[in-house]
Amino acid sequence: MGEKILMKGNEAVAEAAIRAGCRHYFAYPITPQNELVEYMAKRMPKVNGTFLQAESELAAINMVLGAAACGVRAMTSSSSPGISLKQEGISYIAACRLPAVIVNVTRGGPGLGNIAPMMCDYFQATRGGGHGDYYTPVLCPSTVQEFADHAPLAFEIAERYLTPVLILADGLLGQMMEPVEFPEKTPVPKDQSDWCVGPWEGKRTSHHVINSLFIVPEDLEEKTRILFEVYEEIKKNEIRYETYNMESNPSLVVAAAGTAARVTKSAIDELKAEGIEVGLVRPITLWPFPSEAVAKAASGAKKMLVIELNMGQMVEDIRLAVSGACPVEFAGKAGGVVFTPEDIAALIKEKM
């Protein structure tokens, strides 16, 4: 570990991606993730990397596809409306089975919305996002350090399963500063002959054909079957979550991710000082979703409260996971308005 420095989430994830071996970054600017673009513009030339400000989000994501097909660690980033524009390319990358990392520092929506820290892209992120039958693993950090740590992890998952991986952080995490340190080791690159166009002297006799067009229904069926076999592997190996104060056997458990979880933790600490025990389960991978962990947390609880910075998206996955074991209630805020610990403490008391 090196010395700690103070960074915005946007800067930290960019630096961590470079340290993870990313030398190809393509993007189009949008608030509140511009520091990520600026950081890459500043740093990439110094590490012999490529920074390219594309003419559009569509161009950027297709450059990522092309770079990934050539076997390099490639990344793009944007914020909500820009990520919508990238969805076609993400679907193509998923279909082509290429590793790539996409960072979404979300803002308020729908539409042009605003630049405030709303977490309203949960459905889009966890349900494939673009057209077709596919998923992307989604990492959801809640501190600047975790945001940075997710960059090498995202490349690792992307290459292990040959899939695009999404890091979903809200604007607050992108903008705020915290001390951060970077691991010295970078993820070991996977044998690129598994996916790279080639040619691969001695390893393969032919080029890989990178393609997502399969006209014969049985061919596409077979490709999709393989894709979903991979998704089962990802579900088996890559589910991540955190629990907080669950050892107190709380009667009420909050489920929250990202910034909402951060605020909830402060509320839980406040309530603990008053003698009220509340637990938290924080999904870190939003897909695959930590359903078993949520079910386990719900099994000892009288009630589950889902807190989101949107009008209720993750609550659907929570209800599926809890499966009626206890009542599930929801509290959300739209527009980029953020709960305070006082708000959440009051809410919890009301629901108990």
Partner 1 sequence: MPDTGADGFGAGPRFFSGVSLLAITGSYGSGKTELAANLAMLLAETGRPTTLVDLDVVNPYFRSRDMREPFLARGIEVVAPPGQFSHADLPMLPPRVQGAIEDTGRHVILDAGGDPMGARVLARYSGLVQARGYRMVLVANSRRPDTLDAEAIAAMAASIERSSRLGIHEIVANAHLMEETTVEIINEGIRASREAARARGIVFHTACALEDTARRLDLSRAEAPVLLLKKTMLKPWEKGWRASRAHQER
Minimum distance of partner 1 from residue 219's CB (angstroms): 46
- Beta partners for 168? 104
Taking the least distance from each CB to partner 1, the nearer of 12 and 297 is: 12
Taking the least distance from each CB to partner 1, the nearer of 176 and 197 is: 176
Taking the least distance from each CB to partner 1, the nearer of 14 and 328 is: 14
CA nearest 173: which of 13, 15, 54? 13
DSSP string, 121-166: -HHHHHT-SSSSS----EE--SSHHHHHHHHHHHHHHHHHHT-EEE
Minimum distance of partner 1 from residue 338's CB (angstroms): 4
Show the CA angle centred on residue 257, arms to residues 132 and 157, nearest 5°. 50
CA gap 169, 200 in Å, rounded: 38
User: Reduced to 3 states, what is the DSSP secondary structure of residue 47?
Assistant: helix
Taking the least distance from each CB to partner 1, the nearer of 198 and 341 is: 341
Taking the least distance from each CB to partner 1, the nearer of 316 and 343 is: 343
Asked if 268 and 280 touch (Cβ cutoff 8 Å), the reply is yes
Taking the least distance from each CB to partner 1, the nearer of 177 and 320 is: 177
Report the interface residues with partner 1, using CB under 8 A.
4-8, 11, 15, 31-32, 114-117, 171-172, 175-179, 259, 262-263, 265-266, 337-343
Taking the least distance from each CB to partner 1, the nearer of 235 and 333 is: 333
Residue with tokens 């003419």: 55
Strands of 241-244's sheet, edge to edge? 241-244, 278-283, 252-255, 303-308, 328-332
Minimum distance of partner 1 from residue 5's CB (angstroms): 5
Asked if 61 and 78 touch (Cβ cutoff 8 Å), the reply is no
CA distances from residue 299 to 38, 125, 207, 293, 351 in whole angstroms, order as listed: 46, 27, 52, 10, 18
Minimum distance of partner 1 from residue 92's CB (angstroms): 30
Minimum distance of partner 1 from residue 337's CB (angstroms): 8
Minimum distance of partner 1 from residue 281's CB (angstroms): 18
User: Reduced to 3 states, what is the DSSP secondary structure of residue 45?
Assistant: helix
CA distances from residue 114 to 58, 140, 226, 344 in whole angstroms, order as listed: 21, 21, 40, 24
Minimum distance of partner 1 from residue 173's CB (angstroms): 10
